[in-house]
Structure 1
Amino acid sequence: MYLAHLKKLAIMNKFKYYFILLITTVSLFSCSKDNNTAEIVPPRDYAVQYATDLADIEEYLKNYYIEDVSPDVDTKITKIPAGGTQPSIFSYLNSPTFPKLLSREVKLHDITYKLYYLVLREGTGTSPSNVDEIYTTYRGEYLTTTKVDAVTTQTTTKFEEWIYEPQKANLFGYNIRGWKEIFPQFKTGNNTSNLDGTVSHTGFGAGVMFIPSGLAYYASGNASIPAYAPLIFSFKLYEMQRLDHEYAISGQSTLPTPDGIMSFQEDLDGDGYVWTKGELPTGAINPDDTDKDGIPDFLDVDDDGDGYGTKIEITKNGVVYPFAAIPSCDGNTTNPARIKKHLDKNCY
């Protein structure tokens, strides 16, 4: 009987233990749910944030000056001291000589951005398109603006720097829209291989771009870059590589299927840029999409939608014509991007 009593006590204690454990678990879960659930904050309105970014960027341009530009176009930008008479960066707006501050309009997010960029040297070579691969060195900073008691304080924080070895960047796949817009405004330089294995660069384009957050990482930020931060890039453009971007999807794989026409040559309106649908303003018709199927020609294996691949249409005896060798159908050679061929013509 005593053993039965002990057994009964053990069962009751076990029941009590699991009951307490259950209550504790529920309580902890409830507390965790109440205290740790992150509030979902919707992204800020693009127009409102852009107005803030533009004001902050222009404030920076009016209060900082180019302290030094070395013979190798290394740039040092410094805040104008109180009472200083140094010319601000903004004073070079539309200057006829270098340095010159220019701006480019970018229509996106149902607004028109003003994207400022400082040209220290234009470059002596060739301008890339926004779908080419570039070789560049750069220093990236984000701009922070605080206002306390009507006093504005601005600071820049370096987040990345590649200044010794040029880095490759495929502008088509690059996340920062500002890069795609500004690099085509510059030109490459000359590159000479030295006996010691190094490369000397001369005549390259160099400048600084000031990018609103809507043309950068916006609400997401990136690594150490906070959300809604305008970005400043000092850069040099050394070289570029033309690319041919067409691809086909096979199952879950993406297979390169270049059509033999470099992507920059499929710029039908000749403005120096080709865009995908998501990169255009809302409702805009892509001027570089011949058959208007939503796929721009530089990504489309059948540009004119006639069932014959563009690569087949520009070949003769199975050999792709070099673009320069393709004859004009009507003698009009003012727009070399007008390259829509037919099997019976082999011309553009």
Structure 2
Amino acid sequence: MNKFKYYFILLITTVSLFSCSKDDAPAEITPPRDYAVQYATDLTDIEEYLKTYYFTVVNHAGFQDDQDVTFTKIATGGTQPSIYSYLKSPTYPKLLSRPVKLHDITYTLYYLVLREGTGISPTNTDGILTSYKGDYLSRQKVAEVETLTATFFEEAKSPQQFFYLYNPNDPLIKGWEQSFPEFKSGTYSSNTDGTISYKDFGAGVLFIPSGLGYYNTGNGSIPAYAPLVFSIKLYEIRRVDSDGDGIKNFQEDLDGDGYMSVFATGVANPDDTDKDGIPNFLDTDDDGDGVSTKTEITNANGVLIPFEAIPACNGNTTDPARIKRHLVKCN
């Protein structure tokens, strides 16, 4: 009887293990699509959206709905101007684009500027306080007819914290990093009820290919390979010193274009003084002389010299195009 029980238990255990191994077998992983092929599809969808939808904007200075934008499909025979009709408009609103090189291709990143803003622009490494509304584009088939639609997925009307455009530990999508420097912050005031009113902020819409978004991973309700449409308002920015050398990132943007990045090996980087492959905003020794930047700009009393007072190579600290010794060696 004991031997029968032993073999019975052994049989049940073997069957269980076999069943578990089948259930736990790894799912087949589909390789990501080719970036260039997917981008061609995304660009077609984005440009169709731009050419078949129009927008309306709320002008309500000082209120939360100021610069809220609504997109509506142009009906057959409709006469509303499409989003695309504002391409390179001489006045605002205007539709613009900028090239973004990534994944061995050059993306066209479209962005609609409703209002530029009156404050200052962030670099792509700064913190931003922004409200936003997000939709994704997809093609839906209804009654055998395929149409391009925008589906809402998220909205933040009252921002409570800053997003950091450069954050290796919690990176934002590339499309945000590569477009927010095109806008400026505004002004704000506190109300008696504890709320804050924002005015004159930059506002617009970002049209982001999936390769500059979530690509094959998707995010929450956003499916994989979905182009994104973000309506944004830039309220305030926060300057960052990523390498802790005492110089803010925006002050280490040597070509002044608002964009700094780590380039591929062998590619010349306009924001890398000593050409060591590390852009200045991440380089604690910008000129590569073996002495840290922070040490070089600390006076005899142990106090950091203000950026504006750092000597230029020619000794002229009032020169707006000065080349400081912590950025370029003075021969």
Q: CA deviation at 1:43?
A: 0.7
Choose which of 304, 309, 320 in structure 2 pairs with 1:325. 309
Cα distance in 2 for residues equivalent to 1:289 and 1:228: 34
Matched AA of 2:326: K
Cα distance in 2 for residues equivalent to 1:49 and 1:293: 34
Q: Superposition pairs for residues 253-264 of structure 1, below 5 Å?
A: 258-264=244-250
Asked whether the equivalents of residues 66 and 89 of structure 1 are also in contact (C-alpha less than 8 Å), the reply is: yes
Helix, strand or coil for the counterpart of 2:308? helix
Asked whether the equivalents of residues 146 and 153 of structure 1 are also in contact (C-alpha less than 8 Å), the reply is: yes
Q: Superposition pairs for residues 303-314 of structure 1, below 5 Å?
A: 303-314=286-297
Q: Which moved more, 1:212-221 or 1:148-157?
A: 148-157
Q: Superposition pairs for residues 16-165 of structure 1, below 5 Å?
A: 16-25=7-16, 27-29=18-20, 31-32=22-23, 37-71=26-60, 72-146=66-140, 151-165=145-159
TM-score (normalizing by structure 1) = 0.84
1:6 alignment partner in structure 2: none
Cα distance in 2 for residues equivalent to 1:341 and 1:301: 10
Helix, strand or coil for the counterpart of 2:261? coil
Q: Which moved more, 1:121-130 or 1:283-292?
A: 283-292
Larger relative strand fraction: 1
Q: CA deviation at 1:22?
A: 4.4
2:189 alignment partner in structure 1: 192
Asked whether the equivalents of residues 137 and 167 of structure 1 are also in contact (C-alpha less than 8 Å), the reply is: no
Larger relative helix fraction: 1
Asked whether the equivalents of residues 213 and 229 of structure 1 are also in contact (C-alpha less than 8 Å), the reply is: yes
Q: Which moved more, 1:215-224 or 1:140-149?
A: 140-149
1:228 alignment partner in structure 2: 225
When residues 114 and 79 of structure 1 are mapped into structure 2, their CA distance, relative to the original with a 3 A threshold, is: same
TM-score (normalizing by structure 2) = 0.88
Q: CA deviation at 1:38?
A: 1.1
- Cα shift readout 1:177-206 (whole Å, capped 9, x = no counterpart): 111111100111112233433322111100
2:63 alignment partner in structure 1: none
- Cα shift readout 1:235-272 (whole Å, capped 9, x = no counterpart): 101111111111xxxxxxxxxxx211101111122222
1:214 alignment partner in structure 2: 211
Cα distance in 2 for residues equivalent to 1:314 and 1:291: 17
When residues 150 and 85 of structure 1 are mapped into structure 2, their CA distance, relative to the original with a 3 A threshold, is: farther
Question: Does 2:8 match 1:14?
Answer: no
Q: Superposition pairs for residues 267-282 of structure 1, below 5 Å?
A: 267-277=253-263
Helix, strand or coil for the counterpart of 1:134? strand
Cα distance in 2 for residues equivalent to 1:27 and 1:302: 59
Cα distance in 1 for residues equivalent to 2:87 and 2:266: 32
When residues 148 and 39 of structure 1 are mapped into structure 2, their CA distance, relative to the original with a 3 A threshold, is: farther
Asked whether the equivalents of residues 247 and 307 of structure 2 are also in contact (C-alpha less than 8 Å), the reply is: yes
Q: Which has the larger radius of gyration?
A: 1
Matched AA of 2:73: K
RMSD: 2.4
Q: CA deviation at 1:14?
A: 1.9
Q: CA deviation at 1:23?
A: 4.6
When residues 197 and 19 of structure 1 are mapped into structure 2, their CA distance, relative to the original with a 3 A threshold, is: closer
State how many pairs are aligned: 319
Matched AA of 2:279: P
Which stretches in structure 1 are left out of the alignment for 5+ residues?
Answer: 1-9, 247-257
Cα distance in 2 for residues equivalent to 1:30 and 1:179: 43
Aligned-pair identity (%): 59
Cα distance in 2 for residues equivalent to 1:266 and 1:302: 12
